[in-house]
Amino acid sequence: MKEIEIREIIKKMTVREKIMLCMGKNSWRTEDYPEYGIPFIRVSDGTNGIRFQKDSDKAPLPYFDSSLDVSFDSPEALERTVATTCYPSGSAMACSWDKELMQEMGARLANECKSMGINVLLGPGMNIRRHPLTARNFEYYSEDPCLCGDIAAALVNGVQSGHVGTSVKHFACHNSDNRRTRVNVIVDERALREIYLAGFERVVKKANPATIMTSYNQINGIEMNENSRILRDIVRDEWNYEGTIVCDWGSCKDIAESTKGGMDLQMPGSLMSAEKLEKDIAKGLVSEELLGERAYHVLKLIFKYAGHEDVENDQKANHELSVKAAAESAVLLKNEEDFLPLHAERTQKIAIIGRLAKEPLYVGSGCAIVRTEHAEIPYDEIARVCGNQAELLYAPAYEADGTTTEALLKEAEETAAAADVVLVFAGSYLPGESDMYNRTSMSIERGHEDAIRAAARANENTAVILMIGDVTVMPWADKVKSVLCMWYGGEGMGSAAAQLLFGRKNPCGKLAVTVPEKEEDTPAYLSFNQSPYEMFYGESIYVGYRYYDKKKIAPRFPFGHGLSYTTFAYDNLQVVSEDDEKVVVSVDITNTGSMEGREAVQCYVASGKGHMEKPVRELKGFEKVSLKPGETKSVSFVLEQRDFSSFDIRNNEWVTDTPDFMVEIAASSRDIRQSVAVKRPVTYKPFKKLAKNCGFHEMFENEVTKKMFFDFAVEHGLLPREMVSEKVKDQLEFTFWSVRSYMDMNAHGMVTMDQFDELLDEMNKALAE
Ligand code: BGC
């Protein structure tokens, strides 16, 4: 529908009708107005599959106590949840580094949504994974905004190509789940722009998501929904975002301030808020025009996404894709002596240790839980691959709650000792989705770790298969030959693991986050568990590998790391073309091993010394290539000026502050294979506005204001004209006082404060021209 037609409808609606249009009728649908031809849309979680509870889009019971049973993953809640396809968690999918796969998964999700009458899918979750203990990190992609933004953009493009809307969430800095609606993030502007907003900016520019979901937390003391500087000045004006801004469920704490701040759709609906806004509009505290703007954004969404053609949900194709996705995102972290793949025909007895082999952990919890009827069992899939070529032994090793006993460990040890090779299944569970939700430890479950140690003691031919939502510390990794991380790998994880372990598929996932040696090494270690009322992002832009690299801390496994059963050579990196806007480089990748494989090729930029401090290197692009043995393919990267820029807080703009950069092509952030020097135009500028307390060095950065100062000094008899020189300029710049204080102390009444203020005003006018 055209803008003018939508505006006509809004004109006809009463204030109350517009208010009710801009909030859910309940948690999962919007209001409809047949008299104006306005249909409703239905929304549903989640991030790695659809979570939709039967009849949840019907009106809720009007009793307070009916709200008390809020769990999403209790057995009763799951009973009501419709069975759908469960893909690997976001933390897994990002390890695929595969944009095409994300797009394909998006298209399948759209189809499944349509078959259920869902118009907007509430995902992807794409917060930066600042600290590994954040409980909901399993929903998110990466510690890096380029990987995060491009993976999310591919998914959004896939879903929206199927004419279903998306909701990129949780915007922004939602990096801790303890007291999540009270967290006040204290973050500096550069980190905000370069790290925490950058992924969202990428997805807005590359995929135009239908909605952006604001987060529960405050940023620097301001609630996200009320943050007009971020929502209006940055998202709307700088990024030109024209979609709908929806609040996270129950995150709107003041409807009047949120209306001013830039939130469009309040979810779920609230009669309390509706009444408050109606009164505030009547009193003139909030303008009806602002409500009209909200209604416009909500109607645009509704008219674009309401109503679908009937589609068939191809469950079999979905499941096949979930297997492919699980295999592509699995990361082979360690593989001593090429222990994997196993060869069933050369192996007589395989010990499968760990209850997770039969009761796999394949999905996260809370609103990202997905109920599937097709979850594969790793043990069964291994048995299928082995056929009658090998004998499988089994010991559970630990209880369902992750604890173990001496008897269970003894049995595991004996089983491992009796086998030729041992596969230990281990992982880490999530805490219940309460108000204190973060993980409390970076270790895998205690009983699982004991099981690994027991098996490794009994048999040196041991591999570990991990099912984790985010990284854990792995002190036990030195004791085993191989570690294969399957993450929360979704319903297809069982056969994906079996195929990878026995070489039917070649591992090709790479880490989307760093695996530290110990928790104390993590960038946010000192602030993560501080008070939620003031969570200080002291590491600034040094998040993830940017921190480990700068501090020269060796991680256990670096960002971008992942092994394969084949090997790849990188050659012939060259600058194909360069102009003021972009640089294009290409590099040849050859499969030098004997098995077909896929390689995630990474492109980093390392800056020369400029005006600003920089990370050692930053990811700016990536491509995944498939190669047969002996095959070579050329991969290119287009690097725009922005890829060489940093956010200059002095002038509030992106700048290139040095001409010198290296473009590095790498197999991981610590495995740079090829590099080439490039020159870029410098865009760093002198101060564009002088603050009241500016210093001489700021005033003299610009020739115009420098001249104005010396003319002023001469005019008021502070300096004779012949004394004006570079030497005096240097002397003034050497002082640490602000210009104002210096004049105050040394002008001896020859200049009044008003005259000085006028000079500053004149200077700022000249700078603005
Ligand atoms: C979560 C969102 C989710 C919404 C609806 C909120 O509590 O933070 O991620 O989409 O609930 O379930």
> Does ligand 1 lie within 6 Å of residue 45's CB atom?
yes
Token pair 């104390």 in the structure block, residue: 520
Query: How many CA atoms lie within 13 Å of 736's alpha carbon, on the beta-carbon side?
Result: 0
Distances (CA, A) of 574 to 77, 462, 668, 678: 56, 43, 19, 10
Best substitution site from 42, 248, 267, 369 to test ligand 1's pocket, by max atoms within 8 Å of Cβ? Answer: 248
359 CA to centre of ligand 1 in angstroms: 27
Query: What atom of ligand 1 comes closest to residue 27's alpha carbon?
Result: 5
Give the Cα-Cα-Cα angle 168, 173, 174 (nearest 5 degrees): 75
> Does ligand 1 lie within 6 Å of residue 144's CB atom?
no
For residue 673, what is the enclosing H or E element?
strand 671-679
Token pair 């298969």 in the structure block, residue: 465
Cα 125 from Cα 140, distance rounded (Å) = 5
**Predicted confidence (pLDDT) at residue 67 exceeds the cutoff of 90:** no
Q: Is the CB of residue 654 less than 8 Å from the CB of residue 646?
A: yes
Token pair 């209306």 in the structure block, residue: 259
Peptide bond into 172 cis (omega under 30): yes
Query: What atom of ligand 1 comes closest to residue 51's alpha carbon?
Result: 12
Best substitution site from 249, 266, 365, 370 to test ligand 1's pocket, by max atoms within 8 Å of Cβ? Answer: 249
Residue 610 is classified by DSSP as -
pLDDT in tens, 299-344: 999 999 998 778 999 999 999 999 999 999 999 999 999 999 999 8
Cα 683 from Cα 678, distance rounded (Å) = 15
- Number of Cβ within 10 Å of residue 536's Cβ equals 16
Best substitution site from 26, 139, 367, 437 to test ligand 1's pocket, by max atoms within 8 Å of Cβ? Answer: 367
614 CA to centre of ligand 1 in angstroms: 35
Peptide bond into 124 cis (omega under 30): yes
53 CA to centre of ligand 1 in angstroms: 14
Which residues, listed in sequence order, are joined to residue 143 by a DSSP beta bridge? none
248 CA to centre of ligand 1 in angstroms: 6
Return contacts of 71-74, CB within 8 angstroms, 24+ apart.
71/433, 72/365, 72/366, 72/367, 72/369, 72/433, 73/365, 73/366, 73/369, 73/433
pLDDT at 398: 98
What are the backbone dihedrals phi and psi of residue 124, each rounded to the nearest 5 degrees, phi first? Answer: -80, 155
Peptide bond into 268 cis (omega under 30): yes
Query: What atom of ligand 1 comes closest to residue 215's alpha carbon?
Result: 8
Residue type, 417: A
Nearest in space to 248 (alpha carbons), one of 323, 321, 183: 183
- Number of Cβ within 10 Å of residue 677's Cβ equals 11
Query: What radius of gyration do the chain's Cα atoms show?
Result: 29
Cα 99 from Cα 323, distance rounded (Å) = 17
Q: Is the CB of residue 712 less than 8 Å from the CB of residue 759?
A: yes
When pLDDT is cut at 50, 70 and 90, the band that residue 56 belongs to is confident
Alpha helices in 605-752 (DSSP H): 696-699, 703-715, 726-734, 739-746
> Does ligand 1 lie within 6 Å of residue 169's CB atom?
yes
- Number of Cβ within 10 Å of residue 749's Cβ equals 5
The predicted model gives 127-150 an average pLDDT of: 97
Residue 230 is classified by DSSP as I
pLDDT at 344: 87
Cα 742 from Cα 744, distance rounded (Å) = 5
> Does ligand 1 lie within 6 Å of residue 737's CB atom?
no
When pLDDT is cut at 50, 70 and 90, the band that residue 61 belongs to is low
When pLDDT is cut at 50, 70 and 90, the band that residue 648 belongs to is very high
Peptide bond into 88 cis (omega under 30): no
**57, 98, 248, 549: which one is catalytic?**
248
Residue with the smallest CA separation from ligand 1 atom 5 is 249
Look up 711 and say whether it is catalytic: no
Looking at per-residue confidence, does 62 or 261 come out higher? 261
Q: Is the CB of residue 50 less than 8 Å from the CB of residue 164?
A: no
Residue 61 is classified by DSSP as P
The predicted model gives 115-137 an average pLDDT of: 97
pLDDT in tens, 529-580: 989 999 999 999 999 999 999 999 999 999 999 999 999 999 999 999 999 9
> Does ligand 1 lie within 6 Å of residue 367's CB atom?
yes
Token pair 């109606």 in the structure block, residue: 278
> Does ligand 1 lie within 6 Å of residue 297's CB atom?
no
Cα 584 from Cα 574, distance rounded (Å) = 9
In a 3-state reduction of DSSP, which class is residue 433? coil
**Predicted confidence (pLDDT) at residue 69 exceeds the cutoff of 70:** no
pLDDT at 308: 78
Residue 421 is classified by DSSP as E
Which two three-digit tokens encode residue 492?
């297809």
In a 3-state reduction of DSSP, which class is residue 57? coil
When pLDDT is cut at 50, 70 and 90, the band that residue 659 belongs to is very high
pLDDT at 249: 96
123 CA to centre of ligand 1 in angstroms: 9
125 CA to centre of ligand 1 in angstroms: 10
Peptide bond into 343 cis (omega under 30): no
The mean of the pLDDT values for the chain is 96
370 CA to centre of ligand 1 in angstroms: 14
pLDDT at 109: 98
Which two three-digit tokens encode residue 337?
């002596």
- Across 61-189, the runs of DSSP E, i.e. the strands, are 120-121, 165-171, 184-186
pLDDT at 55: 81
pLDDT at 115: 95
**Predicted confidence (pLDDT) at residue 60 exceeds the cutoff of 70:** no
Cα 169 from Cα 210, distance rounded (Å) = 12
Q: Is the CB of residue 153 less than 8 Å from the CB of residue 202?
A: yes
pLDDT at 527: 93
> Does ligand 1 lie within 6 Å of residue 122's CB atom?
yes
Query: What atom of ligand 1 comes closest to residue 174's alpha carbon?
Result: 8
pLDDT at 224: 98
Query: What atom of ligand 1 comes closest to residue 167's alpha carbon?
Result: 10
Query: What atom of ligand 1 comes closest to residue 180's alpha carbon?
Result: 8
The sheet with strand 184-186 has its strands ordered as: 222-223, 218-219, 184-186, 535-536
Query: What atom of ligand 1 comes closest to residue 216's alpha carbon?
Result: 8
Which two three-digit tokens encode residue 346?
């050369």
Alpha helices in 459-554 (DSSP H): 493-501, 525-528, 545-550
The predicted model gives 96-115 an average pLDDT of: 97
> Does ligand 1 lie within 6 Å of residue 177's CB atom?
no
Residue with the smallest CA separation from ligand 1 atom 4 is 249
Which residues, listed in sequence order, are joined to residue 214 by a DSSP beta bridge? 171, 247
Which two three-digit tokens encode residue 616?
């050692």
**Predicted confidence (pLDDT) at residue 97 exceeds the cutoff of 90:** yes
pLDDT at 530: 87
- Number of Cβ within 10 Å of residue 371's Cβ equals 21
Looking at per-residue confidence, does 541 or 433 come out higher? 541
476 CA to centre of ligand 1 in angstroms: 36
When pLDDT is cut at 50, 70 and 90, the band that residue 751 belongs to is very high
pLDDT in tens, 351-367: 999 999 999 999 999 88
pLDDT at 65: 75
> Does ligand 1 lie within 6 Å of residue 121's CB atom?
no
Distances (CA, A) of 392 to 28, 395, 451, 479: 47, 10, 18, 22
Residue with the smallest CA separation from ligand 1 atom 11 is 249
pLDDT at 70: 66
Q: Is the CB of residue 492 less than 8 Å from the CB of residue 319?
A: yes
**Predicted confidence (pLDDT) at residue 247 exceeds the cutoff of 80:** yes
Q: Is the CB of residue 597 less than 8 Å from the CB of residue 633?
A: no
pLDDT in tens, 180-212: 999 999 999 999 999 999 999 999 999 999 999
Q: Is the CB of residue 153 less than 8 Å from the CB of residue 196?
A: no
pLDDT at 318: 98
pLDDT at 490: 98
Distances (CA, A) of 348 to 103, 462, 491: 42, 15, 29
Peptide bond into 62 cis (omega under 30): no
Which two three-digit tokens encode residue 498?
């079996």
Give the Cα-Cα-Cα angle 96, 99, 105 (nearest 5 degrees): 85
75 CA to centre of ligand 1 in angstroms: 19
249 CA to centre of ligand 1 in angstroms: 6
Which residues, listed in sequence order, are joined to residue 30 by a DSSP beta bridge? 24
Q: Is the CB of residue 636 less than 8 Å from the CB of residue 710?
A: no
Q: Is the CB of residue 587 less than 8 Å from the CB of residue 665?
A: yes
